[in-house]
Amino acid sequence: MDSDEQKEIEHLWSRELEGAKTTANEVHAMINDRVVAVARGSVETAKHNASTRRKFGTLKQKLVALPRILEKCSHISEAEHTRRQDQIAKLKREYSTLEETLRRGTGTDGPSEFESASVREHMNKQKPRETERTAGVETQQLAQLQRNMMNEQDTKMDELMKSVSRLKNITGAVHDELETQHKMLEDLDGDMQKTQGRLGEARDKMQDIEDSSLQCSIC
């Protein structure tokens, strides 16, 4: 076997091995998604099962192909050959686990016994936690309690809106008052300037009179 054939076989081995791992992960994710979908009451379970089985068939084909490819890898060492056999065996064990999981899961309408820890954790996160107000309360009482809490929130929101409205009115009144006082100050400044102008004119006239009187007394 020349080097080109060896490279081609190595490329084929790597591609099929990675493809098998990726497909196994996808099947596992699809099964977990189905558990979540069933728990949420989704009606797409039949369609989801069909998609999962098609993906599962793809995984089976890759697991059949991998040993055949390994037989052609005559250029690798015995240790490497053993390592690759272990990789195939691990994938086959995972295949068997997924097959059993899929067989159990597709025969039930509710969450099946094969729920993984990750899925259970995901579902637990979706459940509302009990508080001191809801602990030990019956369903009807809980619904009434929720309504009461919503009414309390609405009341607090109304009070907040009223406070905001009052604050807005006060702010508007303060603004108007400042505008009025500013206008009054401008008017007062104008009046003072006019008064100062008239006083200046009066002083000038008084000075003219004094000057005229002085001239007459000299004459």
pLDDT tens-digit readout, 160-184? 888 888 888 888 888 888 888 888 8
Q: How many CB atoms lie within 10 A of CB 96?
A: 10
Q: What is the per-residue burial (b if ≥16 Cβ within 10 Å, else e) of 187-210?
A: eeeeeeeeeeeeeeeeeeeeeeee
Q: Kindly tell me the burial class for residue 46, based on how many C-beta atoms sit within 10 Å of its own C-beta (0-12, 13-18, 19 or more).
A: exposed
Query: What 8-state DSSP symbol labels residue 138?
Result: -
Residue 116: band (very low, low, confident or very high) from pLDDT cuts 50, 70, 90: very low
Looking at residues 20-40, what average pLDDT do you find? Answer: 78
pLDDT tens-digit readout, 31-85? 777 766 666 655 456 677 778 888 888 888 989 999 998 888 888 888 999 999 9
pTM above 0.75, yes or no: no
Residue 69, C-beta contacts closer than 8 angstroms, at least 6 positions apart: 9, 12, 13, 16
In this structure, which topology does domain 3-126 adopt according to CATH?
Answer: Methane Monooxygenase Hydroxylase; Chain G, domain 1 (1.20.58)
Which ranges of the chain would DSSP assign to H, the alpha helix? 3-39, 45-71, 78-105, 117-126, 139-218
